[in-house]
């Protein structure tokens, strides 16, 4: 399989001098779905923000062989779509359709092509019925799906999601997990929702203190009670139930 993401010895220090990343090295193949988990302050979001050049630290990041540098940020951001935890960080136009078409228009596509891409993306997330509505008239779960559509309209090869299930009610959470599982792109998901990580990803990377402390098959990693406890996490309920009642 082709390599989608490669991170080499990545370090990043916040302006106050605190190290957020301490020598992260990671490879993700095209088509993989990888969950990045760990306690608060582990460096998960900071790592994600390096994957499309929002942040730039010491070390190297490659996307499909392209090193992420200031020189090629436009190309990298066409390859790597970032979905923020709060959909309101991505929605700012008067209507849903305008929000989703904004990215393709910004890339230089014609109005017709941008609208076609936007409608296709909204169809993928089940939100075509809302294309003429204001995003702020929608529920949080609907806004989350529209935010994903704004990224899908750019047709990225890698989808990076920061806490995609945060603040969703149970039905919206189930719908979002089902939606993401249907998308055939490489996915990198930072989450505290370990049951969602298990349902979305075949591989889990555990971070703590700005370092990778474990990396492997999702079920093996997430069912390791000692590993989970050592890094401020818990075995997800679905796996804990299996361990209690084999």
- On whether the CB atoms of residues 153 and 103 are closer than 8 A, the answer is yes
| Cα 25 from Cα 33, distance rounded (Å) | 17
The separation between CA 111 and the C-alpha centre of its own chain, rounded to angstroms, equals 28
> pLDDT tier at 88 (50, 70, 90 boundaries)?
very high
pLDDT of 239: 84
Q: Is the pLDDT of residue 3 over 60?
A: yes
> pLDDT tier at 220 (50, 70, 90 boundaries)?
very high
Domains of the chain: 1-64+157-246 (3.40.50.300), 87-156 (no CATH)
- What the block records as the tokens of 5 is 């993401």
Q: Is the pLDDT of residue 237 over 90?
A: no
Q: Which residues pair with 206 in a beta bridge?
A: 37, 214
> pLDDT tier at 1 (50, 70, 90 boundaries)?
confident
Angle of CA points 87, 88, 93, to nearest 5°: 115
Residue labelled with tokens 């001098």: 17
Q: Kindly tell me the sign of the dihedral angle through the C-alpha atoms of 30, 202, 52, 136.
A: positive
Beta strands at 211-217 and 158-162: parallel, antiparallel or unpaired: unpaired
- On whether the CB atoms of residues 57 and 23 are closer than 8 A, the answer is no
Q: Mean per-residue pLDDT for 67-74?
A: 91
pLDDT of 150: 97
- The CA–CA distances, whole Å, from 237 to 34, 80, 240, 242 equal 20, 32, 5, 9
Q: Mind listing the pLDDT tens digit for each residue in 191-219? A: 999 999 999 999 999 999 999 999 999 99
| Cα 214 from Cα 49, distance rounded (Å) | 20
Closest C-alpha to 83, from 170, 8, 222, 183: 183
Q: Mind listing the pLDDT tens digit for each residue in 98-134? A: 999 999 999 889 999 999 999 999 999 999 999 999 9
Q: Mind listing the pLDDT tens digit for each residue in 163-199? A: 999 999 999 999 999 999 999 899 999 999 999 999 9
The mean predicted confidence, pLDDT, of the chain is: 94
Q: Is the pLDDT of residue 241 over 80?
A: no
Report the greatest alpha carbon distance in the chain: 58
């Amino acid at each position: 399989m082709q390599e989608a993401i490669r991170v080499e010895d990545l370090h990043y220090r916040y302006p106050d001098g605190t190290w957020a990343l301490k020598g992260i090295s990671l490879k993700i193949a095209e088509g993989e779905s990888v969950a990045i988990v760990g306690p608060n302050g582990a460096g998960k979001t900071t790592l994600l923000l390096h994957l499309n050049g929002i942040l730039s630290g010491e070390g190297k990041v490659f996307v499909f062989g392209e090193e992420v540098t200031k020189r090629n940020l436009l190309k990298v951001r066409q390859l790597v779509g970032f979905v923020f935890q709060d959909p309101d960080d991505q929605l700012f136009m008067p209507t849903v359709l305008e929000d989703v078409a904004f990215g393709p228009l910004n890339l230089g596509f014609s109005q017709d092509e941008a609208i076609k891409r936007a409608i296709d993306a909204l169809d993928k997330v089940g939100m075509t019925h809302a294309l003429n509505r204001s995003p702020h008239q929608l529920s949080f779960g609907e806004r989350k799906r529209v935010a994903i559509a704004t990224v899908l309209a750019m047709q990225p090869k890698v989808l990076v999601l920061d806490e995609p299930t945060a603040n969703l009610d149970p039905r919206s959470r189930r719908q979002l997990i089902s939606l993401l599982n249907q998308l055939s792109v490489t996915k990198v998901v930072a989450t505290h929702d370990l049951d969602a990580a298990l349902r979305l990803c075949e591989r889990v990377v555990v971070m703590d203190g700005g370092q990778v402390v474990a990396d492997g098959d999702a079920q093996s990693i997430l069912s390791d009670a000692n590993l989970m406890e050592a890094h401020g996490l818990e075995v997800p309920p679905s796996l804990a139930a299996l361990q209690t009642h084999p």
